[in-house]
């Protein structure tokens, strides 16, 4: 007899300090070099677009993005290790793209560790393209650094009459 999985209803809410403890627990479990409490507090203080994905009161994931001129830069997107491979990252990427379009952004940008092939595959299936490399961008332990792959997603419809 196979178990019937109950659909999970999830919602996005603004990330604030009341959920920061849960977010930090996930961050520390998900990464060898996690963001610190100070990183999150700085992002919130700066007014960055930060959302937490909730099922009931359980944090499934979160993202932090910085709006620029005609673009949005995804700084952190994380799904709890307990619920990875269930489509939550894709759902958050969709929500971020929708919000970004609403801000009249033309591009979404991000960096991802060169070793994080799984994340790159998710971004590529979402339409992101590899643009370049930032050498020694991320800490990698033991005094080492790891390259970041720069990726972007064009948000606005391409005007075929005008070339950039």
Q: Check if 31 is active-site.
A: no
Marked catalytic residue, from 48, 111, 128, 138: 111
Residue 75 contacts residue 96 (beta carbons within 8 Å): no
For residue 51, which of 8, 109, 91, 104 has the smallest C-alpha distance? 91
Marked catalytic residue, from 48, 123, 128, 138: 123
Q: Check if 123 is active-site.
A: yes
**Dihedrals φ, ψ of 64, to 5°?**
-135, 130
Q: Which residues are catalytic?
A: 111, 123
């Amino acid at each position: 007899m196979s178990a019937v999985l109950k659909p999970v209803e999830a919602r996005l809410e603004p990330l604030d300090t009341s959920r920061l403890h849960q977010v930090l627990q996930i961050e520390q479990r998900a990464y060898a070099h996690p963001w610190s409490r100070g990183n999150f507090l700085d992002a919130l203080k700066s007014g960055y677009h930060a959302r937490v994905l909730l099922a009931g009161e359980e944090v499934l994931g979160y993202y932090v993005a910085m709006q620029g001129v005609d673009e949005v830069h995804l700084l952190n997107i994380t799904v709890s290790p307990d619920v990875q491979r269930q489509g939550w990252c894709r759902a958050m990427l969709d929500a971020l793209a929708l919000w970004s379009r609403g801000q009249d952004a033309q591009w979404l940008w991000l960096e991802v560790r060169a070793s994080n092939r799984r994340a790159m595959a998710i971004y590529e299936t979402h339409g992101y393209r590899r643009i370049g490399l930032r050498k020694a961008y991320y800490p990698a332990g033991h005094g080492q650094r790891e390259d970041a792959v720069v990726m972007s997603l064009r948000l606005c419809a391409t005007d075929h009459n005008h070339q950039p």
